[in-house]
Structure 1
Amino acid sequence: MSVSQLRNYASGQWIAGEGEGEILHNALTGEAIYTASSKGLDFASMMQYARTKAGPVLRKMTFHERGRMLKALAMYLMARKENYYTISHLTGATRSDSWVDIEGGIGNLFANASLRRQFPDESFYVDGDVAPMSKRGSFIGHHIMVPKRGVAIHINAFNFPVWGMLEKIAVNFMAGVPAIVKPATLTSFLTEAVVADIIESGILPEGSLQLICGSARGILDHVQNGDVVTFTGSASTGKMLKAHPRLIDEAVPFNMEADSLNCTVLGADVKTDAPEFDIFIKEVVREITTKAGQKCTAIRRIIVPEAMVEDVRIALGKRIATTTIGDPSIEGVRMGSLAGLSQKQEVLEKIQELSKSQEIVIGDVNNYEIKGGDKYNGAFLPPVIFYNANPFTNTACHDLEAFGPVSTIMPYADLDEAITLSKMGKGSLVSSIITADDKIAKEYVLEAAEMHGRILVLNSDCAKESTGHGSPMPMLVHGGPGRAGGGEEMGGKRGVLHYMQRTAIQGSPTSITAITNVYQQGAKGHILEEHPFRKYYEEIQVSDQLLTEKRLITPEDIDRFAALSGDNFYAHKRETNFEGTMFDEQVAHGYFIMSAAAGLFVDSYEINPVLLNYGIDELRFTKPVYAGTNLQIRFTCKQKLPSDTTPDPENPKSLIKRGIVKWLVEMLDDSDEPLVGVATILTMVKLKNQED
């Protein structure tokens, strides 16, 4: 295979770095395949290009527009995935290894695209609940979040050249922030192929994504306030970058996700004939062999009850013996190579260090077979399992990480010891406990959680559908305390908000409504002459308001509702002796008041653009309603949300274009403090424009 030069994508151009650059090799054969250089790139200009070219465009887009952009990109890349699999083979990865990286990464785009439904159709986000700040309600506080006006710089590890990039840019694009990606040079040829397709697609605004395949040394010298830096890799490199003076001077957020000494615990309740024992063995072997152990979430410490050590060793040995190592393109191969010879050498050095304080019980780095590939020039290593009889004394296993197919079995006497051992890794991305006893699980989770970013509780109830110990999911936080870096990635909405600035705003309810485009209780409404249910989605405006007629609540109403609903709670019965209760007399059902409210605000005389009632949120009854009360409803448009649910071609009714409208329902009586109940109802409303 001829040696090709990788390109960088900077300031709207593909640029091959100057000079010979770093030579990259086929991990299976050791053959030189690419060179990578970033010499000659102007990092300061790249960052300014992102800020000025793409930043304004992304910021003006709404969350829903950004989400649809991500969905389109995900579909575009998915159609080209086979090319990525072909290239990924050169990294030593099996098809299943590459699936996690390639389709897992694209899956992050899909998952974050779906987050748009949790955001308004706005370029900004209103965070949390209103804060009342005055007695009469004329002065309130709120929080608003807007996109940062900088660039996200992502410095990624070699083990997931696709997933590592896509899981990060998905969230910064959803937030409205452009990115510069620096993959680890070792496997950057796969990242380059994906970025080339992204740029070719034209789906992203120009300047949204730039790529550095060679060294990015010096890029942090140019960060400024408004930028965000993320790092995935070794703890030592992360600490060095985190201490960069420019990050401190400019108050630039630095999110670190570092390799950690993750652990799994076998519960003391699990015996060899229990299904959880097999689950445990399969999970450990999968984590050791997937990506040849090159995962930041891989199991490095296997914590088992003292009495189960030998059973675990034997079972692991048998299962590992069936794992064929070699060229993943050959039938039957289940484990490929490490990413390169330099990585293999580093793992061998760590194995040598660990051997000083513990013994190898499974595997021999000098005696193993491979199927295909080049055993001497390729980066192959067999799984290696240590046993540490005294993990509280011989602590190298809690300090040194061999970033490959290497792990250590260690015994514990009781659950307290297991918890202590789990925390001796000084902070990890993930821990798991395999147990059928939920009491054990609860104690472990509550006591160990402080030192782990994620804890998987695994048993036969969930094993078949579990995503496993080592699989971070887009909707959950990925990161961990201490050695793991103290950062957070993904986490659904949390990940997006990391790229936004939260600002407290204060003012009158009417002013805050105008700013947020979400109606705040107490704001001035736009009183309507026409009933709002006769308006199409496009015609409805936030703050549109209807004040209904009044309805007298009678004892007979309460009796009939009790009979109809079957709710004969004592407070709803006339003959109750109310002495010593919270009530003075027969009180109306809260759900009757809500039903009566609907009778007042629903316009039901003819077919109108309201397609259906979509639900009720935040329903509260604030004081009793007695017979003789005159009930009136103040009905206000609170917020509008577009609906882009994929229609079903076989169901013509699903093809109707519609949106969701939230209405604030305030239930009022005739007193000086009239609010008796409040709710938010959601209606699905037809769009006037049904054209595609």
Structure 2
Amino acid sequence: MTPTVENYALGHWLPGSGPQQELLDASTGDLIATANTEGMDFEAILDYGRRVGNSALRRMTFHERGRMIKALAFHLDAKKEQFYELSYRSGATRADSWIDIEGGIGNLFANASLRRKFPDKPFYVEGEPVGLSKGGTFMAQHLLVPKEGVAVHINAYNFPIWGMLEKIAVNLLAGMPAVVKPATPTAYLTEAVVREIIASGILPAGALQLVIGSGQGILDHVTYQDVVTFTGSAATGRKLRAHPRILAEAVPFNMEADSLNAAVLGPDAVPGTAEFDLFIKEVRKEMTAKCGQKCTAIRRAIVPAHLVEDVQIALGKALAQTTIGHPQAEGVRMGALAGRDQAARLREQIQLLAKNTPIVYGDLDHVEILGKERGAHAQKGAFISPIVLLNERPFEHLDSHEIEAFGPVVTLMPYHDLGEAVQLANLGKGSLVCSLATNDPRAAQDFVLGAATHHGRILILNQEMAKESTGHGSPLPQLIHGGPGRAGGGQEMGGMRGVEHFMQRVALQGSPSMITAITEVYQTGAKIIEHDKHPFQKYFEELEIGETYVTHKHTVTEADISNFANVSGDNFYAHVDATSLEGTLFTGRVAHGYYILSKAAGMFVDPRKGPVLLNYGLDECRFTKPVYPGTTIGVQLTVKEKIGQEKRDADDIAKGIVRWLVTVTDETRETVAVATILTMVKKKDQA
């Protein structure tokens, strides 16, 4: 009996109730499964996500969410071989599947590690405080909290695993649940991963739901607290973005659309240079990886006019080594498209392009394949030859900049100077990524400054970085994945930026004491807490935000300045030569700023052994007023923020990082130096 791909919603696995859609093996045409495309109660699904999943995730801290994502990554990594076996049926080779499977799991790991950039709290204090009054009693601070809705992810067919995992990693870290709607042709892969996620029991109930099929009507029930993301064609994305409910509720909509990404061969990258070879290698790789079905794949190869023939010959030789066939057949380097519907659509797009830009490599109607013994079939499967077209007049024949053939297809086009190369790259009206092969820094700068407005990411490809480069087509979780214009204007991922997309930013206004109480970060001017016991003798849990220690006083002498100059070797004229101060800001020998900071440390440190394990570092430091001999300084040490640390293993010491505000003042009570220092402090509870 043919299995049915099911939905996971409302805490249960549920079949749809609509017409059956057949999901076929991309290489053999054999039936894999069927999917029901209708019959889901989307209003109930979204409500369940908000009530159950959102409330559970919002209660967790960033660190708890991050550890949850890390555990999920380890779980899926242990199960990845079963995903590979299924992925072959989508036409993907082992290398193609690696991008989808381990790229997706790697994204979970990367976002799990990102937790360390956030506090161990359910909210995030963003940026610096803003003073709003002369007296310092009125201020503001930006705060981010998880939205109270659901992230609805509408994904494309080309990356059924990575497309889901790279999105949910971000919304889960932010504290929002997700409803994932994968494209139906490869939804069997998404379902397999979701089954493992649910079976693991790692995520709280309602944190992840899966909807297979058309998803028609799901957007009818979104609210302004939800977030919708879309990956796919620009045309479909524009329709969804204009949905009446999206507009009426002002629902955040992140669109990452397939775009006409370009690779540019720099003027200096002539045959025989490493950059020329790298350019050819990168274009071939982007054409054949995932059979060219990547939103970041190179669609336009822009090369110096006098090198068009050289590039055409070199690229043809590289593509001739690309064996095509069943992904599991020995020697196959390129598999099939995801299905026959995709292959039919691709041929239509190529035929449109070929009206004015002839095919100079490849055969649209014939392809030799390997793996017939495994059932691979040239007609029943979705195989196609790599295709190279030539647009000799790219400023006249604009189809190359408007029609995307979503497969192993690239169009060569010439330019006469770097300005023209920029113009051609920008004619794509916005793309996810562009690359430039050059070893000329000035050419690289000129190109970037001209093209940056039209691209989400620009890769400068040369010999120096080639061995470690992840390549033109690899989005990384630390960087934004999106682009302007045709690419949709979205910014998926991007480290902390991506997480913030699923949070609400609010500007808090109030007194320093009130903002301190709300944010759990001490604000200058807030009420302080003083105790008899030195704070360095307190465990991490015992310290309070705002707890302050006021030191004894010290009068700075010329001997202090001379001694510090001798010890440090810092003999800058302002510290040691009073005769050289004419025309400067100083009226006499001035104390070293680092002496003031060092002396402050000596004044506030308790020398006795206690819970403080070590000095962890310095976040910021400013010297705000010159200190001359005879100035009397005092120090105020205040607990600014506490950041719990995870134990690396069972034998590790339980500890946390304490950020201290160090304020050094003179006898007039004016601030002469301010810094934030960090210490590692032992926890009383060693569990």
TM-score, scaled relative to structure 2: 0.98
Does the 8 Å contact 1:292/1:337 carry over to 2? Answer: yes
Could you tell me how far 1:682 is from its partner in structure 2? Answer: 0.6
| Pairing 1:331-370 to 2, within 5 Å after superposition | 331-370=330-369
Q: Does 1:524 align with 2:527?
A: yes
Q: Is the 8 A contact 2:145 2:505 kept in 1?
A: yes
Task: Quote the offset at 1:316 in angstroms.
Answer: 0.6
Structure-2 separation of matches of 1:546 and 1:414: 66
Counterpart of 2:392 in structure 1 is 389
Whichever residue aligns with residue 105 of structure 1, its letter is G
2:484 and 2:490 in contact (8 A); partners too: yes
Shift of 1:646: 2.8
Q: How far apart are the structure 2 equivalents of 1:384 and 1:499?
A: 40
Match in the other structure for 2:609: 607
Does residue 656 of the first structure (1) align with residue 658 of the second (2)?
A: no
* 1:69-101 deviation per Cα after TM superposition (whole angstroms, max 9, x unaligned): 100111111010001101100100011111111
CA contact (8 A) 2:124 2:145 kept: yes
Give the aligned partner of residue 676 of structure 1.
672
1:68 maps onto 2:70 in alignment:
no
Change (3 A) 1:645 1:267: farther
> How big is the shift at 1:658?
1.4
Confirm or deny: 8 A CA contact 2:19 2:38 kept in the other structure. Answer: no
1:86 aligns with 2:85: yes
Q: Which residues of 2 match residues 32-71 of structure 1 at below 5 A? A: 32-71=31-70
Q: Tell me which residue corresponds to 1:685.
A: 681
Q: Post-superposition shift, 1:581? A: 1.4
Partner of 1:666: 663
CA distance, structure 2, for counterparts of residue 453 and residue 19 of structure 1: 39
Provide the rounded CA distance (Å) in 2 between the counterparts of 1:292 and 1:175.
Answer: 34
For 1:566, which of 564, 569, 574 is the aligned residue? 569
Of 554, 559, 578, 2:557 maps to: 554
1:486 corresponds to which residue?
489
2:242 match: 243
Q: Say whether the 8 Å CA contact 1:8–1:38 is kept in structure 2.
A: no
Match of 2:460 among 457, 462, 472: 457
Show the 5 A alignment for 1:118-197. Answer: 118-197=117-196
User: 1:435 aligns to what?
Assistant: 438
| Conserved 8 A contact 2:59-2:122 | yes
Quote the residue 1:625 is aligned against: 627
Give 1:574 shift.
Answer: 4.8
Are the aligned partners of 2:140 and 2:510 in contact in 1 as well (CA < 8 Å)? yes
CA-CA distance at 1:544 after TM superposition: 1.2
Letter in 2 for 1:15: L
- Deviations 1:531-553 (CA, angstroms, capped at 9, x unpaired): 11111111112111100111111
CA RMSD in angstroms, aligned pairs only: 1.0
In structure 1, C-alpha distance between the alignment counterparts of 2:17 and 2:580, rounded to whole Å: 91
Cα distance per residue 1:113-170 (max 9 Å; x no partner) = 1111111111111111111111111111111111100111000000000110011111
Cα distance in 2, alignment partners of residues 511 and 404 from structure 1 = 57
Give yes or no for contact 2:18–2:39 (8 Å, CA) kept in 1.
Answer: no
How far off its partner does 1:10 sit?
0.8
| Cα distance in 1 between the residues matched to 2:148 and 2:577 | 63
* Distance of 2:633 and 2:464 partners within structure 1: 50
User: Contact 1:20–1:35 (CA<8 Å) still a contact in 2?
Assistant: no
User: Shift of residue 281 of structure 1?
Assistant: 0.7
Which secondary structure state, in structure 2, belongs to the residue aligned with residue 576 of structure 1? helix
Q: Give every structure 1 segment of 4 or more consecutive aligned residues whose post-TM-superposition deviation is greater than 6 Å.
A: none
CA contact under 8 A between 1:37 and 1:215: conserved in structure 2? no
Instruction: Determine which of 376, 401, 404 is the counterpart of 2:404.
Output: 401
Question: What CA distance in whole angstroms lies between the structure 2 residues aligned with 1:464 and 1:690?
Answer: 44
Q: What is the aligned counterpart of 2:601 among 594, 598, 607? A: 598
Task: Report deviation, 1:19.
Answer: 4.1
TM-aligned CA deviation for residue 57 of structure 1: 1.0
In structure 1, distance between residues paired with 2:315 and 2:647:
47
Structure 1 match to 2:199: 200
Residue identity in the other structure for 1:82: E
The CA deviation at 1:645 is 5.9
Extract unaligned runs of 5+ from structure 2. none
Q: Distance in 2 between matches of 1:235 and 1:575?
A: 69
Instruction: Tell whether 2:93 aligns with 1:97.
Output: no
- How many angstroms apart in 1 are the aligned matches of 2:143 and 2:38? 41
Q: Is the 8 A contact 1:576 1:586 kept in 2?
A: no
Contact 2:367 2:378 in 1 (8 A): no
Q: Provide the TM-score with structure 1 as the length reference.
A: 0.98
Aligned residues of 1:619 and 1:679 also touching (Cα < 8 A): yes
Amino acid at match of 2:684: K
In 2, the alpha carbon distance for the partners of 1:5 and 1:366 equals 34
Q: Distance in 1 between matches of 2:49 and 2:455?
A: 35
Instruction: Show the 5 A alignment for 1:99-114.
Output: 99-114=98-113
Q: CA deviation at 1:579?
A: 2.9
Output the CA distance in 2 between the equivalents of 1:148 and 1:690: 34
CA contact (8 A) 1:119 1:125 kept: yes
Distance 1:568 1:104 in 2: 53
Q: CA deviation at 1:367?
A: 2.9
**2:637 aligned residue:** 635
Deviation at 1:38, TM superposition (A): 3.8
Structure 1 residue 471 corresponds to structure 2 residue 470: no
Please give the secondary structure, in 2, of the residue aligned with 1:226. coil
- Aligned ranges 1:9-48 → 2 under 5 Å: 9-48=8-47
Secondary structure of 2:579's partner? Answer: coil
Question: Alpha-carbon deviation of 1:52?
Answer: 0.4
Shift of 1:215: 1.5
Q: State how far apart, in whole Å, the 1-side matches of 2:580 and 2:482 are.
A: 58
Deviation readout 1:6-36 (Å, 9 max, x if unpaired): 1000100100112442111000111111111
